[in-house]
Amino acid sequence: MDYFIGALKKYADFTGRARRKEYWMFMLVYFILSLIVGVLDAMVGMGFLAIIFTLGMIIPSFSIAARRLHDTGRSGWWQLILLIPLIGFIVFIIFTVQDSHDANDYGPNPKVGELA
């Protein structure tokens, strides 16, 4: 949950880097919360709770994905590859599961600071 809260604190920060664990823990909590909101939305029958939740989480999702891509040495604009059906999703997943690179244009390796 700390990774999720940390990503929300960096709500629209598209600079820097995000480790693989930070990105995937954010995505896990986001997925679980969206399931809970979807179930609550279906039980209440309002039909707009899930939409509000998704709209509220779209900018943090883009920002943490951009920081994750920075960690692999790519620009955050590589998220646009998701617009290509199926192949884009597969390539994006491959990009986000790759290990961190050493210091690059986007900052020092976040793993180095954690190990020290």
From the list 57, 72, 78, 50, the residue with the least C-alpha distance to 12 is 57
User: Regarding predicted confidence, which is higher, 31 or 112?
Assistant: 31
Task: Name the burial class of residue 22, with classes exposed (0-12), middle (13-18) and buried (19+) by CB atoms within 10 angstroms of its CB.
Answer: buried
pLDDT of residue 16: 87
From 16-30, 35-49, 61-75, 97-111, the region with the lowest mean pLDDT: 97-111
In this prediction, residue 116 carries a pLDDT of 46
pLDDT of residue 115: 52
Query: What tens digit of pLDDT does each residue of 44-89 get?
Result: 887 789 999 999 999 999 999 999 999 988 999 999 999 999 999 9
Total domain count, the chain: 1
Q: To the nearest whole number, what is the mean pLDDT of the chain?
A: 89
- What is the per-residue pLDDT for 110? 76
Count of Cβ atoms closer than 10 Å to residue 79 Cβ:
19
Q: What is the pTM of this model?
A: 0.85
Taking the CA atoms of residue 9, residue 11, residue 15 and residue 16 in that order, the dihedral angle to the nearest 10 degrees is 40
* Domain span at 66: 2-115
Q: CB atoms < 10 A from the CB of 114, how many?
A: 9
